[in-house]
Structure 1
């Protein structure tokens, strides 16, 4: 492809880097973050699930996902016109970017969104269910919602809300609300783990994964500008500010309640701040980002306690509390600071939420009928690593 000038070249170079950063979030970032969170007998299972989901989503995005999300069939779904990248050549563009680069960048979002859901059912789910559910969910939930908000669908500008549609810069609704709600639905259906008494087996691994997610998130948010400009730089800056604030507020709030400064608590706060700033990262400055992160660190933590202690919902790795609640909160904060309309944001949240609940239920019960969902009690107590995958994460005698 012949690029017309330096700005086009700069945009392409930056989004190439951002694409790598977003993939880095899934592999190895999310895998390490989730792997450290579970007990040692299940670390291989989480690694397998994250890796396999990345592979399957990449292929499905090429086959049909990209077409559903970014085709131009109508305002509800993109159709099949771009299936298998039909019509996408080295000369086709999306804005100042080669379309194949836009495809690759968006593919990374399609990979990490269903991968986030893994945290809800970790340590007790069948591997076949993970693969089938993730694939169908990406096609039937993630891709249509991406089309509605980002692909010119009915929630975007000129849609059902008029000239100014739902504002979601990098995925507070498209990624975090959908994944968080799906996680909550599955956690309720599958039920609590048989043994919930032991915490993360490797806090250091959790911290390393969280740090990788934080670094990768600079591409997640900054790359969503699809340009190498000051707005992308601002998106990266506020991403750091919100995550830093949420890390500290989570840590101090946890210490005030329980008397300990925990590493896992602090880095979970990091992720809550990142989820909360994601939808707003292209619309607010550092001051508002600090405020969003400050509140998110407390709000998401209290959501964890409410679901776990009051409702007895075992969302194993707190996907809804951190990603769902954080993403929805950040989306509402844009209206609070005047960057979006309250009515439009609330309407978008409601439409996406209802659709996600309905379609997730359909996909879960379809997959349950085909593969089943939960492993048997003996397998769960032994651990998925040896019972399902025939390997251990740690050989104590080696």
Structure 2
């Protein structure tokens, strides 16, 4: 089998790249080792920057998002027992974010690809990439007991942190930067109305908490917990009780509890790979970088990665120019490091770090106080939260 671009991974980044290329008339085949049901079962972030919303609209999958998603013009910071709103819409000249779950984005992209009759190979085992440092890359895989080979012009590695693409790069050709945080997020999903119409980020002496949502009837809550904690250590009742202790009185009064429909503990890390191009193979999304979930940058970075990559491929096929593919890594990394810095800063500001003592809490509270009383400080957090423009700093 032959295609122009082989995309490894059918998560949101791979599917979005496939739609962008299809719109431009470029043939792409997606290879995914899991089933569609498994891909859709992964619970991830749900805050979309305007740039991501625009790209989803560009490929024609935004209808349900605009119908069911929740537009947020601000969020609350809770510290010292009081809430303070960051008015993103006013501070950024009218920009907002869209609350719409990553699972729903993936579902919409899957449906669009299926409707267009495009090829996606699910449940492919033993996927391997070959000759990506030469002119004719190949992808091999097994499906239904048969060995297959896909030849292509380019390979797009959209296969996540544990995928085969980054792992196939010679160790001497790659640099990896990583910071592992000494805590995790215990998250639950519940069919209960959100405690507030916008998100609440909580800095508490007991640890960080986040009150988020997926719809008017489905809520997502998180607690900072030690890395040693397991899901089975936390009953629903224990979770709700600890969340109450970290909230302000008004939020406690409005909190509606109920049985969890999903519960998990996620570790936090900052991770970046340099470069993101290796011959004719390119990394995008979690294959190349991971951000802490504070500020919800992961999916949004993946969307801008594949937007840049699609532009590079379009330029190559339309103009026979290598300029876009040659600049892909540098262009992405500028944006990635800006988002990594913001996520690291926001994480450092809102969480309790073991061993730092009460003085660290005082430093955090002083900085939060500055942010809410300084127009410049509030604008800085607002413009980073809503997302920097695609051409920022070029």
TM range (shorter): under 0.3
Q: Could you tell me the TM-score, scaled by structure 1's length? A: 0.24
Give the structure with the larger strand fraction: 2
User: Larger relative contact order (C-alpha < 8 A, sep ≥ 6)?
Assistant: 1
User: Whose helix fraction is larger, Structure 1's or Structure 2's?
Assistant: 1
